[in-house]
Amino acid sequence: MLLNPANTAFGSNLFRAGTIYRNQWSTVSQGYNSYLLTAEVLPYSSRIKKQGIGLGVSFLADIAGTLRYGQQSIGLYASYFKAINAMQEHYISFGIVGNTSTWSYDLANSIFGRYPEDREGILLNNVRTYDFGLGTHWQMKANDKHNLQAGLALFHINQPSLSYYENSDIILPLRFNAYFSDLIMIKYDNFIKPTVFFQVQKEFMELLIGADYCINIAETALDTKILSFGAYYRTADALIVMGKYKFNNFNVGISYDVNLSRLTPASKSYGGVEIWLLYSFNPIGYKKAKTSIPCPAF
């Protein structure tokens, strides 16, 4: 959902819940710590009309340094997806997200040149913003060897004010992202998934290129056991290595960033470690249809 709201509850299961923890640049002050909880539900899905509606919620916290500067956000998501061929192998989806965020710092740990007179003109130590974003996602099974997917998303469309001063010209800028990947079957139990991800926010830009190698280690057709290893390069910043394991409805993974940027002398090449868990499920007694909706995979 954070990548693209159009992915909200996209898939064959009625419920999905996930969590992520990330620690970055811990050798620089106290670095960044990020926490995420998500929950998704598929309240409407029609096999006849080949469409569905998804809803989701996220709780995100980013906390940085001894000043504990960061944000706490709640996001509400909605999506609509539709199959555009009779075999349900070609889908398009649309999504919207609304966020409310509190941006703050620890006033007790702050040092000002003029204190307590006027704290250098800074009137607030927390700011609340409201913003929304839109996204679209496309995927198709091109043939027996290629599963393609791509998406576009735009966030902070209303560009809310984000200022601790009276100056309302300081805003939360637009952020745009785009991605493309292809799940390529090498043989029946081996896949490779090259991915390109790009995003830009004002003068800042990120380009990520890499691939996952996936091995199906299940011994029967009733189980799903997929082991994946990946390597990605974030241009002028970091090399990312990761491992993932999917066991039926569970997805678990870990990634590590090796810092390659000009911050290397301070970071000592330590970038960030990230761990995540995702669980998809249906309620007891729910009869799953034989034709499943393919879930976007990242």
Instruction: Render pLDDT for 122-146 as a digit per residue (tens, 0 to 9).
Output: 777 889 999 999 999 999 988 889 9
Question: Each residue of 51-100: pLDDT tens digit?
Answer: 999 999 999 999 988 888 999 999 999 999 999 887 768 999 999 999 99
Distance of CA 212 to the CA centre of its chain: 17
Residue, of 262 and 157, whose pLDDT is higher: 157
Domain carrying residue 38: 5-281
The answer to whether position 143 is within a domain reads: yes
What pLDDT was estimated at residue 294?
62
Q: Which of 2-6, 116-120, 151-155, 166-170 is the least confident region?
A: 116-120
The answer to whether position 171 is within a domain reads: yes
* Domain CATH for 268: 2.40.160.40
5 vs 134: CA distance, rounded Å: 7
For 17, other C-beta atoms within 10 Å of its C-beta total 14
Nearest Cα residue to 256 out of 294, 278, 229: 229
Question: Each residue of 171-190: pLDDT tens digit?
Answer: 999 999 999 999 999 988 89
Residue 141 identity: K
Could you give the C-alpha distances from 129 to 73, 75, 77, 104, 200, in angstroms and in order? 9, 12, 17, 11, 20
- Confirm if 282 and 14 have CB atoms less than 8 A apart: yes
Give the pLDDT mean for 165-169. Answer: 75
What pLDDT was estimated at residue 221?
74
- Confirm if 221 and 209 have CB atoms less than 8 A apart: no
What pLDDT was estimated at residue 118?
64
What pLDDT was estimated at residue 97?
98
The answer to whether position 207 is within a domain reads: yes
What pLDDT was estimated at residue 285?
67
pLDDT > 70 fraction of the chain, expressed in percent and rounded: 91
Count of structural domains within the chain: 1
The answer to whether position 292 is within a domain reads: no
The answer to whether position 184 is within a domain reads: yes
The answer to whether position 294 is within a domain reads: no
